[in-house]
Homo-oligomer: A and B are copies of this chain.
Amino acid sequence: METTMDMLLTEMPTAGCCMPALAPRISPAEAQQLSDDLTMLSHPIRLQILDMLAQRDGEVCVCDLEAALPVKQPTVSHHLKLLRAAGLITCERRGLWAYYSVQREALAAMRRRILAQFDALQ
C-alpha cells in the first residue's frame, strides 16, 4: 500500500500524474510582455499599416492609408494611435497632413523579443 507521500517521492512509470514542480520557464511577467507585443501585431489593419509605412517611410498620410484599407478614417486613426502608443510608429505634421513613419529600431527590438522567447520554446 502506497501513501500519497510515497507516490510523490517515487517515480511513476505509467499511471499517476502531477510530477514534482512543473513550472513555466517563462515568468508570468515575461509571458505578459510577450503577449502584449503579439497583441499589438495581431490585427490585420495594423499589419497592413506597418507594411505600407515600411514601404514609404515618412511620406504616408492618413488619407493614403484610408484609401488602401477597408475601414473608415476614425478607425485608421484609432489603430495609428495604438501603434504610436506602442512606439512602433511616429507622426510628423506638415500643414494639414500627418505623415507617419515606422520606427524601425522599435520594430526590430520587438522582433528580437518575440524571437528570443519563441526560440526558448526550442
**Interface of A toward B, CB cutoff 8 Å:** 14-15, 17-19, 22-26, 28, 31-32, 34-35, 38-39, 41-45, 47-52, 54-56, 59-61, 63-65, 67-68, 70, 94-95, 97, 99, 102, 104, 107, 111, 114-115, 117-118, 120-122
Contacts and interface: CB of A to CB of B under 8 A. Distances in A.
A26 B42 contact: no
A122 B42 CA distance: 18
Given A50-B121, A68-B23, A95 B31 contact: no
Given A19-B64, A23-B68, A67-B18, A42 B35 contact: yes
A56 B22 contact: yes
Contacts of A41: 34-35, 38
Contacts of A56: 19, 22
A22 B47 CA distance: 15
Contacts of A25: 51, 55
A59 B48 CA distance: 41
